[in-house]
Structure 1
Amino acid sequence: MCGFIGILLMTSGCTVAATDSHKSITSPDESLINTYWKLVMLDGTPVVTHENFREAHLVLHQEASRLAGATGCNTLMGTYRVENEQIAFGQIASTKMACPTAQMKTERDFLTALKQVTAWSVDGAKLILSGDNNEPLAAFEAVHLY
Structure 2
Amino acid sequence: MIFSLEDRVRRVADELAIRNVIALLARYADEGTLEDYGALFALDACWELPGARIRKGRADIVAGGAERRAAGVAGPDTHTRHLVSTVSVALDGDRAQAESYWQFYATTDSVPCLQSMGYYRDLFRLTAKGWRLHYRQVTLG
Structure with greater strand share of residues = 2
TM-score, scaled to structure 1:
0.34
Query: Who wins on radius of gyration, i.e. which is larger?
Result: 1
